[in-house]
Structure 1
Amino acid sequence: MSTRVSNTAARSRGGLHPAWIVAAVAFVALVGAAAFRSVPGVLMAPLHDEFGWSHGTIGAAVSVNVLLYGLISPFAAALMDRFGIRRVVACALVLVAAGAGLTVFMTQAWQLMVTWGLLVGVGVGSMSMPFVATITGRWFVKQRGLVTGVLTAAGAAGQLVFLPLVAALANDHGWRAPSLVVAGLALAVVPLVWFFIRDYPGDMGVTAYGAEPGSTVGVRNPAPGGALRALTVLGTIVRKPVFWLLAGGFAICGMSTNGLIGTHFVSAAHDHGMPATTAAGLLALIGVFDVAGTIASGWFTDRVDSRYLLVAYYSLRGLSLLILPALFAPDVEPSMWAFVIFYGLDWIATVPPTVALCRAHFGDDGPVAFGWIFASHQVGAAIAAFGAGVIRDVQGSYTLAWYIAGGLCALAAVLSLSIRRAPAAV
């Protein structure tokens, strides 16, 4: 008898398709990974006060983190094909715990580069957006866009919702307390990943959710050589113009989100007299609205041309960033509340349509291709994290950084509009 059974049979045995359990644990891991990566942005002021390191120096460490977060992604996606999701994600969590825990012993800037930059960057990079593409590509046929949106929202929300907790811990107990909390949380997630995530639906005797019996979606097909496959896929996709259009737009996406807002919003608000805890709360609220915006984006991705969604998202984001410098004040005015809601709905809404375009244009190589495109996202974020810090050190404010980001978002909209419709079959 075949080891795979229909979705109907699977539901009749337990009432819930295993794909939803896998997605739920992936959600928890992604919330944690994003929260782990975001901590240095909140600790910028405490580190500056204790060690005297400049904003540019601390921003450089964050740049290493976000750069590795992106560059490791395609290799992690390929290694998941080779060695399995559980092994890769469990090892990544251990790396995060090591990097976060060792920061309490650091006394020099290069040690920040090694811990939060190298170790945490590689760890969270192994649980980044290509992880989402791998889970949804293997476990879902129906509701794939919606699940992509939910898991993407987990990453953004985790990064932002934990910020008030981190800021409060740093304010009450010093910056070392949140570092130790991150290390403990990372280790706590390891058993969940190991016991509840399976690599393929066939490992549990089912087909992917929404797939017909006999479908090849989610069937185990080990790929030869993880790192080699990542490089082979890169050599193929760079010959297609759609790759450069998607990568260029996504690099700007990274600049205008993780690199700029995620790293420097709290510091910029503090420059205008706003308490750091209040600014972190606003950033957390952006994450709350991002959950709704990204899930909605996944729903739209199942129904609307993904190219047009990207044009709308980048255009609206650019407009919001252009007006942001006029909204900062010691107190939270209604106009800032409006920005938080508007920007939050758009924060990572670009991911579901970008994943869908990768799947449409690159076929089975879609998750690895998205890994490389996501790497461009993090390259952009790294440039912005460092560049905005330098602008702040030289000019005494972040105003120019906001204007540059707004203009680049307009360019991303043009790049997205230039993408051609995918062929009928890849």
Structure 2
Amino acid sequence: MSLRRLHPAWLVAAVGFVALVGAAGFRATPSVLLHPLHEEFGWPLATISVAVSVNLLLYGLTAPFAAALMDRFGIRRVVAAALTLVAAGSGLTVFMRTSAELILCWGVLVGLGTGSMALAFVATVTGRWFVKRRGLVTGILTAGGAAGQLVFLPLLANLVEAYGWRTAALVVAGSALAVVPLVGWLLRDHPADLGLPPYGATEVVPAPARTGGAASRALGALRTAARTPAFWLLAGGFAICGASTNGLVGTHFIPAAHDHGMTETAAASLLALVGLFDIAGTIASGWLTDRFDSRVLLAAYYALRGLSLLVLPSLFSGSTEPSMLVFVIFYGLDWVATVPPTVALCREYFGASGAVVFGWVFAAHQIGAAVAATGAGLIRDQLGTYTLAWYAAGALCAAAAVFSMLLRRRSGRPAEPDAPAAPATPEAGRSGASVSAG
């Protein structure tokens, strides 16, 4: 009976969370496999980092098209196909012999799969299913990626150490594939399919007609958004966000710690601990986003992250010192806390197109991550240390804080995003009125 009284939006959010955890496994894998692949195949770290960069780049560039495809074919089909693609790409890596095959499997296949499960998926789910608690649910779903990192990193590091990297890749493939039946069974596309209003609304919002042209819709949203300064400030800040998280710390923290004598298992555990605090920080950020100005939140997050990265080079050692644990806690709370306020600002500025526009902002995030992943590898190969990379990331975060404060509040706060009866029209997106994304 209690399940009957529970709004189905919460069940959809729960399934989305599990799916995001399943997709996160391979995204957590690159930093664990850098040295094993280097040792087995003799590939330079910069070469392996290129595959990581392709993965990160496609992960971002796929997002806006995936959001449009979810409008065309439905959330359930796109997510199930994405998880299957992740599983195929991860599983096929066990047969690779050349760096080109690494780029194809690890970079292209998994990049496309995880990109279809990126944060634009979060924006789509929250936009369709929630009127109230959007910020909080955005934080919880975003934390799904951190939860995947938390679950998979120590497990993968131990599997690599005990059984080799191929076993770890197969475990990731199996985990992603295991989520597909759950998605097919429980994930629903729109509350109107069940004859219900979104959570927090009083009227049923008709599901929009499914039309063709997912690519044209994604590109059209980009053309419209690119005419506004807000888009470039959000995209620029989020590009720096990606460079200072996935691209740098997510990819190179373990090799950097290994350079200072720390075991890969210990370094992976620290990175997993970042994921643990990321869950708390992202959920808290969602709660704060429902209550405070997203611009101020973003500026604070970027400034604090920059300070932590400037301190990091002095904290590495052969063992886990208390100062490093302090960094892990502080940095972890801030890891993707930027997502809920960024999603909220995309809705505020771009209305019904907010989820698709956020997909493009997220693409900028991944471009930044890809540049940082390759750039840090090159710095390490040329200078023998990552120190310059940490300092550069810290300085960029300061710039992102300035970008956030330059965002202007729209004249008059948009009405509660989701007047249920309001149709989603292109005009609504251009006016910045916040309506239910459909």
Q: Is this a same-fold pair by TM over 0.5?
A: yes
Query: 1:209 and 2:199 equivalent?
Result: yes
Q: How many Å apart are 1:261 and its aligned residue? A: 0.4
Query: 1:89 and 2:79 equivalent?
Result: yes
After superposition, what is the alpha-carbon deviation per residue over 1:123-158, rounded to whole angstroms, capped at 9, x for unaligned? 000000000000000000111110000001111231
2:426 alignment counterpart: none
Query: 1:171 and 2:161 equivalent?
Result: yes
2:182 alignment counterpart: 192
Give runs of aligned pairs for residues 371-382 of structure 1, distance below 5 A.
371-382=359-370
CA contact (8 A) 2:85 2:113 kept: yes
Secondary structure of the corresponding residue to residue 244 of structure 2:
helix
Secondary structure of the corresponding residue to residue 234 of structure 2:
helix
The farther-off stretch of 244-253 and 179-188 is: 179-188
1:144 alignment counterpart: 134
CA distance in structure 1 between the aligned counterparts of 2:209 and 2:297, rounded to whole angstroms? 33
One-letter amino acid matched to 2:158: A
CA contact (8 A) 1:272 1:330 kept: yes
CA distance in structure 2 between the aligned counterparts of 1:392 and 1:92, rounded to whole angstroms? 33
CA contact (8 A) 2:61 2:115 kept: yes
RMSD over aligned CA atoms reads 1.2
CA contact (8 A) 1:200 1:220 kept: no
Query: 1:153 and 2:147 equivalent?
Result: no
CA distance in structure 2 between the aligned counterparts of 1:320 and 1:157, rounded to whole angstroms? 22
One-letter amino acid matched to 2:245: T
Query: 1:304 and 2:292 equivalent?
Result: yes
1:8 alignment counterpart: none
Give runs of aligned pairs for residues 293-372 of structure 1, distance below 5 A.
293-372=281-360
CA distance in structure 2 between the aligned counterparts of 1:386 and 1:221, rounded to whole angstroms? 42
2:16 alignment counterpart: 26
1:387 alignment counterpart: 375
Q: How many Å apart are 1:223 and its aligned residue? A: 4.5
CA distance in structure 2 between the aligned counterparts of 1:42 and 1:220, rounded to whole angstroms? 43
CA distance in structure 2 between the aligned counterparts of 1:363 and 1:59, rounded to whole angstroms? 37
CA contact (8 A) 1:252 1:412 kept: yes
CA contact (8 A) 2:25 2:176 kept: no
One-letter amino acid matched to 1:202: A
Note closer, same or farther for the CA distance 1:13–1:300 as it changes in structure 2 (3 Å cut).
closer
CA contact (8 A) 1:361 1:423 kept: no
Note closer, same or farther for the CA distance 1:311–1:223 as it changes in structure 2 (3 Å cut).
farther
Secondary structure of the corresponding residue to residue 304 of structure 1:
coil
1:68 alignment counterpart: 58
CA distance in structure 1 between the aligned counterparts of 2:150 and 2:124, rounded to whole angstroms? 24
> Percent identical across equivalent pairs?
68
The farther-off stretch of 111-120 and 28-37 is: 28-37
2:424 alignment counterpart: none
One-letter amino acid matched to 1:137: G
CA distance in structure 1 between the aligned counterparts of 2:350 and 2:194, rounded to whole angstroms? 28
CA contact (8 A) 1:318 1:408 kept: yes
1:257 alignment counterpart: 245
The farther-off stretch of 399-408 and 157-166 is: 157-166
CA distance in structure 2 between the aligned counterparts of 1:293 and 1:221, rounded to whole angstroms? 37
One-letter amino acid matched to 2:269: G
One-letter amino acid matched to 2:192: G
CA distance in structure 2 between the aligned counterparts of 1:71 and 1:256, rounded to whole angstroms? 18
Query: 1:220 and 2:179 equivalent?
Result: no
After superposition, what is the alpha-carbon deviation per residue over 1:228-285, rounded to whole angstroms, capped at 9, x for unaligned? 1001111100000000000000000000000000000000000000000000000000
One-letter amino acid matched to 1:52: G
CA contact (8 A) 1:265 1:279 kept: yes
After superposition, what is the alpha-carbon deviation per residue over 1:26-72, rounded to whole angstroms, capped at 9, x for unaligned? 00011111222221221001000000011100000000000000000
Aligned match of 1:47 in 37, 48, 57? Answer: 37
The farther-off stretch of 57-66 and 198-207 is: 198-207
CA contact (8 A) 2:38 2:45 kept: yes
Structure 1 ranges of 4+ moved more than 3 A: 218-221
CA contact (8 A) 1:161 1:285 kept: no
Secondary structure of the corresponding residue to residue 179 of structure 2:
helix
After superposition, what is the alpha-carbon deviation per residue over 1:78-117, rounded to whole angstroms, capped at 9, x for unaligned? 0000110011111111111111111111111000000010
One-letter amino acid matched to 2:39: D
CA contact (8 A) 1:287 1:344 kept: yes
Q: How many Å apart are 1:160 and its aligned residue? A: 4.0
CA contact (8 A) 2:140 2:283 kept: yes
The farther-off stretch of 32-41 and 177-186 is: 32-41
One-letter amino acid matched to 2:396: L
2:427 alignment counterpart: none
One-letter amino acid matched to 2:128: R
2:260 alignment counterpart: 272
1:402 alignment counterpart: 390
1:285 alignment counterpart: 273
CA distance in structure 2 between the aligned counterparts of 1:127 and 1:13, rounded to whole angstroms? 27
Q: How many Å apart are 1:13 and its aligned residue? A: 8.1
1:243 alignment counterpart: 231
One-letter amino acid matched to 1:326: S
Query: 1:77 and 2:67 equivalent?
Result: yes
CA contact (8 A) 2:276 2:332 kept: yes
CA distance in structure 1 between the aligned counterparts of 2:104 and 2:36, rounded to whole angstroms? 19
